[in-house]
Amino acid sequence: MQSSPDISPCLAAQVQISLADRSYPIMIGSALLANSATFAGLPRSAQALIVTNTTVAPLYAATLRAALQPHFATIHLVELPDGEAFKTWETLNQIFDALLGHACDRKTVLFALGGGVIGDMTGFAAASYMRGVPFVQVPTTLLAQVDSSVGGKTAINHPLGKNMIGAFYQPLRVVCDLDTLKTLPERELSAGLAEVIKYGPIADMAFLDWIEANIEALMARDATALAKAIQRSCEIKADVVGQDERESGLRAILNFGHTFGHAIEAGLGYGAWLHGEAVGCGMVMAAELSCRLGLVDAAFTARLKKLIGRAGLPVVGPKLSAQDNAGRYLELMRVDKKAEAGEIRFVVIDGPGRAAVKGAPDALVREVIDSCCV
One-character DSSP codes across 231-261: HHHHHHHHHHHHH-TT-SSGGGGGGTTHHHH
Catalytic site residue from 235, 247, 265, 288: 247
153 is a catalytic site residue: yes
Per-residue model confidence (pLDDT) at position 151: 93
d(CA 283, CA 96): 36
Q: Which of 87, 162, 198, 251 is the catalytic position? A: 251
Q: Residue 336's pLDDT is what? A: 81
The pLDDT value recorded for residue 99 is 98
Task: Judge whether 262 counts as a catalytic residue.
Answer: yes
Alpha-carbon span 95 to 108, nearest angstrom: 13
| Residue from 84, 195, 235, 277 carrying the catalytic annotation | 195
Residue 275 known to be catalytic: yes
Task: Tell me what pLDDT residue 187 has.
Answer: 97
- The pLDDT value recorded for residue 2 is 39
Q: Which of 258, 305, 328, 345 is catalytic?
A: 258
Classify each residue of 39-62 as buried b or exposed e, where b means 16 or more C-beta atoms within 10 Å of its C-beta: beebeebebbbbbbbebbbeebbe
- What CA–CA distance (Å, rounded) separates 323 from 74? 56
- Under DSSP, is residue 176 helix (H, G, I), strand (E, B) or coil? strand
Catalytic residue among 87, 232, 275, 292: 275
Distances (CA, A) of 8 to 31, 228, 282, 331: 11, 17, 39, 50
Q: In Å, what is the CA distance from 343 to each residue of 163, 339, 359, 365? A: 19, 5, 7, 12
> Among 228, 237, 292, 305, which one carries the catalytic annotation?
237
Is 131 designated active site? yes
| CA atoms of 93 and 259, how far apart (whole Å) | 28
Instruction: Kindly name the residue from 76, 87, 153, 232 that is annotated as catalytic.
Output: 153
Instruction: Identify the active-site residue in 35, 53, 157, 255.
Output: 255
Residues 20 and 261: beta-carbon distance below 8 Å: no
The pLDDT of residue 9? 45
Q: Is 247 a catalytic residue?
A: yes
Mind listing the domains of the chain with CATH numbers? 11-183 (3.40.50.1970), 200-372 (1.20.1090.10)
Q: Is 277 a catalytic residue?
A: no
- 255 catalytic? Reply is yes
Contact of 370 with 326, CB cutoff 8 Å = yes
Query: What whole-number distance in Å separates Cα of residue 255 and Cα of residue 259?
Result: 7
Q: How big is the CA angle at 242 (ends 241 and 246), to the nearest 5 degrees?
A: 50
Active-site residue, 84 included:
no
pLDDT at 98: 98
Q: Give burial (CB, 10 Å; 0-12/13-18/19+) of 70.
A: exposed
Active site residue 195: yes
**Residue 234 and residue 15 in contact, taking contact as beta carbons nearer than 8 Å:** yes
Q: Which residue positions in the chain have pLDDT lower than 50?
A: 1-7, 9
Q: Alpha-carbon distance 275 to 261, whole Å?
A: 7
pLDDT, one tens digit per residue, over 68-115 is 999 999 999 999 999 999 999 999 999 999 999 999 999 999 999 999
Whole-prediction pTM: 0.93
DSSP 340: B
